[in-house]
Structures are given as structure tokens and as C-alpha cells.
Amino acid sequence: MTDNTARLTELAKRRGFFFQSSEAYGGVAGFYVYGPEGATLKENVQDAWRDRFVRREGHMEIESPTVMPEPVFEASGHLDGFDDMILECPECGTSHRADHLVEDNTDIEEAESIPIPEVEEIIAEAELVCPTCGTDLAGEPVDDFNLMFGTNIGPGSSSPGYLRPETAQGIFVEFPRLKEYARGQLPFGVAQVGPAYRNEISPRKGLIRLREFAQAELEHFIDPETDEPPLAEVEDVEVTLYSAAEQDADGGAPQTMTVGEAVAEDVITSDWVAYYLGVAKDWYARIGVDMDRFRYRQHNEGELAHYAADCWDAEADVTAPGAEPDWVEITGFAYRGDYDLSKHGEYADEDFTIFKQYDDPITVERATVDPDMSYLGPEFGGDAAAVADALEALAERDRSAFEGDEVSVDVDGEELTVPVEKTGFAVEETTESGEHITPHVVEPSFGVDRIVYTVLAHSYREEDLGEASEDASGEAASEADDEDEERTVLSLPPEVAPKTVAVFPLMDKDGLGERAREVADELRAAGFEVAYDASGSIGRRYRRQDEVGTPFCVTVDYDTLEDDSVTVRDRDSTAQARVGLDELATRLRTLRAGETSVSDL
């Protein structure tokens, strides 16, 4: 843990951003509590996400259950392919993620994409030992471990279910009804914000790897043949891209270019993914992610998910500026094709397609079969229905197979022959007004907790307070008790900061406290998140608010009692200005929106 990480973690616990859950019972790894400041910060980040990726894009949002029945995950592939590599120490019994052991102790950065036999070889060659007890791990087996939390739905074990490992399946499963709300018209997007659960082998790094975490996911359903994104809106957005080709090249490095250039040069092959990379880049900057410690990294072939045609991760360096980078994935942008809807269409009893209307009806030839079941039944017994289905599929695929006297079909590996005259084969002309298509899916999937941590890490700084400043009454007063004292600042954007403004009385006497409380109540009624603090010196109160990221402080002093004016102080610059109470709420709104600054006042 770096000094910066340790200090941020200590601040988060002390000031109520986040801390490990169930500490009274020893704590549980991978589960964290958001305190009063952190819960509001997280909610503000989620609201900012909704504003940009739901409201402004014109998408809809749903909320689905967090527990779903087993067949959902059988169809999605999670039962068979949602695994991490587990290695158990033979001495102390501690379980470790094998790929993390490799990454932490070698120069290999993406061990997750390496096959298990190769990971076992790397562990032996690097002479890796158990981080807990130091036992040699060479020769120990590495196995697959499914990450889903299992449960039972209802009494007994007859209806197994799982806590969802992602919010996406709750959207895909409900597609047959959601398409009705979209009036069967593509493209349309469905978003969901909420918890997901993964039984991580070795949770670590606080909010970075959790067993219960929040996701903000968008599934954008498109017609791949006709629907195109509004690329012109983001083509001039500059992005830092670390492509798979650059990762594989000797001396390869991230490249900076515009979204338009990346598409023109085929660095990003999906226009839809490129569009969302551009949209998201500006959104990250809006909520406080430092663009000097941010990049997009493309998945290489070994780590590309089975459903994805292309995938890019948004990554943030969460260490202090100038330190050895620690890149953390905070969002995945994937072109999932028609994998998800096709799979659920195959397993479920509903229609996961959309009817695409032609501009004009067309006349087509269709090959059909109408098998004589009075012949197929006695001839093939229990396989008769399977033979009929195979004949129908063959007619659609290869009508020339019916040109002879007999036609052969494969049923469970056995070749069966049927006289053509018994198949009812025919070619007919039909007029069609449209066709059923399976939409493709573009998915930006945001890890809310990791983004919250990134925003905290990127906004955290320590600085000297410097020379004395003038307080609200015009008397010389230092914000520090001694000249060399540092202040800790979270430079959170006002949009996501837990509190917008803190209200202080200069001193809690002579009616100043009562007037300050009235001002605080008036600002709350005007829609602001307000903190009230009358404890300690004014400098200490400023520093407390700087530490939790409150952008503005309002001080009520003796002049307030005379002329109804207060001092507004800016967190980042410590600039101060005098503002009348009759215009205070309006001024704070313009300050929060970034339309003006305290210095301008």
C-alpha cells in the first residue's frame, strides 16, 4: 500500500467515506460500508451517470431483482465460464488468485488471459511463495473457481438460483417486454444501476475489488446493418488509446489521437464503441477523474470475452502523481454482437427478436417441407420428429439436396435416408413485409465503486496553508494554528461533492449561531446539501470541510447582523468574497455550475 493510498484510506475511514463492514465481528473481506460522506458521493456519481448516459441519450432505466434462477445463467454461459484461477497454499490453506500472484511478483501485467498450465509453469519458474506464510507454491495445482454466489429460491433445493454477477442479464432476460416499451423500434437503450455479487477469491485494495459492488450498465440494442452512432458529436474528442497491437509490440506505448482519427485508422473498429469512448471521456473529466492519469486499453485476443467482438477498458492510475502507475479498470466498453439475445432465445420460451419492416414488400422463393408422418413414424419411431426437424432445416439451408429420389439427414450422429416424395418438399413464392432480426448489443459497463475510489484518489492532495488570510470580519486570521501546518484537500467537483456548502458562525455567541442556523436552513430549503459547524477555530472548520471536499463555505459574522451579508470562501483557491443573503442561493448555484468563481464575485 503506497503512502498516498494509506493516507486516503485513513481519511476515508475517519471522515466517513468508506470502511470495512462488520468490524465489530472482525470484518469480512470484500464488503465495505459507505459512510455519510461516501454514500452521498456515490449517489452523486450515479446521478451524474444517469444524466449523461440515460437522460441525455434518451434511454430507459429499469431495476431488476438481484437473485435470478439457474436457467438464466445456464443460457448466459456464467455456469460454465465465469471463473477465476484459484491456488490453495498446502501449508496454511489460504486461497489466492493465481493470476494476481503472477502479476504482483513478475513483469507480466495481464496474467488473467494466460492458460492455466502456463500459469502453473510461471509460478514454478519464478519460485513464487504464499504471501501469507511463505510456503513454496511450485507444483501446486491451479483450478477454475466459479465466482457466483449460489442460493435456493423457496424452501428446499429444488429451485437453485444465484445472486447476479452483473446487472446486464436482468436487462437481457426482460428483452421481450422491453422491446414493447420501445414500440419494437431500434435502436434503443436500457440502463440499470445497482448491486452485483462475485465471490472473489482474494478481495483486495479496498473498493477496487469487492464481493458486493455497484454497476451502472447500459445495453444499447441496434440493427447492425442500418443503425449508426452520431460520431460527429465526439470525433474531435482527444483520447489516449493503448491498443492490443501496441501492447504486443516491442516498445509499444499508448497513443493520443481524436476519436475520429482512431476510427479512420481502424484503431477502434466499432463506431459504436468509439462513440461511447468519446462520450465517457468527457464524463470522467466532469466528475473529477484526472485525464493525465487516464487511458483506454484494448483487450488482447487472450483476454477478450467469448461474447465480445471488441472490448476496451477505461483505466485510471490510482497512485499519487509521479509514483509507479497502478492502472485499474473502471469501465468496460464491449461490442457483444447478438450473443446474449440469441442464447436466451435458444433456452427460453420467448421471442428475443425484433420484426424489421421493409420499406416495400418483397416476393421471395421459400423451400418448405411437409413430411408424411404416417411414413416417418413407423420408419423411424421415436426419431420421427427429429427427422422432420432436420428435413426442415436442410430445406432452408440447401434445397439442392432434395433434387434426387432420396435425401439424407443427420440425427444424433446417425445418417438417415428418406424418400423425397415422403418429405413434401416444395418451393413456393411468398410476399414478405419484413423479417425477424436479433439485435446486436453495445455495452458500456461502469464499476461505480472503482470510479468513486478513482475520483477520491485523483482529488486528494496535501499542501501548505501559506500566509494568513483575512477572515469574514476583516481581522487578520490564519487558517492554520501555526505557519507550517498542511491542509488536506479533496478537490471534488461541486456536482459530486457530498456537501455543496458549509455554514459557520464566526463565533457561537451574540446571536451569530442562531443566524447561521437560519442561513443553513434557508440553503437546505433552496435545494443545497449543507453542513453546519460551530466547533473550534474558523481555520480548523475550514480544514475539516476541505478534507471532505466541500467546495464552498459561508461564514456568518457581526457584519451579517448589520447588513445581511456573509463571506463565501472557495475551497481550492481559498479566495473569499462578500455576498448579500438575498442573493446567496443564486450565487451558490452559479458557483456550483462553474459559471463564475469566488474571485469573480
421 with 298, same domain? no
Mean of the per-residue pLDDT values of the chain: 92
In this predicted structure, what is the pLDDT of residue 484? 44
Is 274's pLDDT higher than 60? yes
Together in a domain, 174 and 282: yes
Q: Looking at the domain assignment, is residue 362 inside a domain? A: no
- Considering only residues 480 and 565, tell me which one the structure prediction assigns the higher pLDDT: 565
Cell output for 374: 404416417
Q: Which helix (H) or strand (E) holds 258?
A: strand 255-258
Q: Which of 448, 482, 501 is the last residue of a domain?
A: 448
Give the residue carrying C-alpha cell 491451479: 142
531 and 396, same domain (yes or no): no
Last residue of a domain, one of 427, 456, 476: 427
In this predicted model, which residue has the larger pLDDT, 282 or 429?
282
Which of 389, 418, 448 marks a domain boundary?
448
Q: Say if 328 falls within a structural domain.
A: yes
**Within a domain: 454:** no
pTM, full prediction: 0.85
Residues 402 and 492 in one domain: no
d(CA 217, CA 172): 12
When comparing pLDDT for 1 and 299, which is higher?
299
Q: Is residue 378 domain-shared with residue 472, that is, in the same domain?
A: no
Residue 579 lies in a domain: yes
Per DSSP, what are the bridge partners of residue 530? 501
Q: Is the pLDDT confidence value at 470 over 50?
A: no
Q: What is the pLDDT of residues 338-356, one digit of tens each?
A: 999 999 999 998 999 999 9
Average pLDDT (120-142) is: 93
Is 409 in the same domain as 501? no
Residue 399 has pLDDT above 50, yes or no: yes
Q: How large is the average pLDDT for residues 33-52?
A: 98
pLDDT at 469: 43
**255 in a structural domain:** yes
Q: What is the pLDDT of residue 358?
A: 86
Residue 543 forms part of a structural domain: yes
pLDDT at 576: 96
Calculate the alpha carbon distances from 55 to 163, 167, 182, 293, 517 in Å: 28, 19, 15, 28, 36
Per-residue pLDDT averaged across 136-164, rounded? 92
- pLDDT band (50, 70, 90) for residue 110: confident
pLDDT tens digits along 484-537: 478 999 999 999 999 999 999 999 899 999 999 999 999 999 999 999 999 999
What is the structure's pLDDT at 244? 93
Tens digit of each residue's pLDDT (9 = 90 or more) over 194-235: 999 999 998 888 899 999 999 999 999 999 999 999 999 999
Q: Domain containing 411 — which CATH number?
A: 3.30.720
Same domain, 181 and 306: yes
- Where residue 492 falls (left for φ over 0; alpha for ψ -120 to 50; beta otherwise) is beta
478 and 518 together in one domain = yes
Q: What is the mean pLDDT of residues 556-563?
A: 95
CATH number at residue 266: 3.30.930.10
Residue 585 vs residue 203, higher pLDDT: 585
- Strand order in 294-298's β-sheet? 60-61, 188-197, 212-222, 440-447, 327-337, 310-317, 294-298, 238-242, 255-258
Q: What is the mean pLDDT of residues 75-83?
A: 86
pLDDT at 250 over 80: yes
Q: Give the chain's domain count.
A: 3
Between helices 448-459 and 271-287, what is the axis angle to 10°?
A: 50
Of 177-186, 306-315, 327-336, 432-441, the one with minimum mean pLDDT is: 306-315
How many CA within 13 A on the CB side of residue 297? 21
Tell whether 524 is covered by a domain: yes
| Per-position b or e across 238-255, b if 16+ CB within 10 A of its CB | ebbbbbbebbeeeeeeeb
Domain that holds residue 398: 367-427
- Specify whether 187 is located in the same domain as 304: yes
287 and 419 within one domain: no
Lowest mean per-residue pLDDT among 156-160, 176-180, 389-393, 581-585: 156-160
Q: What is the CATH number of the domain that holds 523?
A: 3.40.50.800
Q: Are residues 176 and 294 in the same domain?
A: yes
**Contact call for residues 185 and 48 (beta carbons, < 8 A):** no
- Has residue 483 got a pLDDT over 80? no
Answer yes or no: are the C-beta atoms of 406 and 417 closer than 8 Å.
yes
Sheet holding 501-505, edge to edge: 530-532, 501-505, 552-556, 565-570, 576-580
- DSSP label of 469: E
Pair 372, 335 in one domain: no
* Res. 2 pLDDT band, cuts 50 70 90: low
Residue 53 lies in a domain: yes
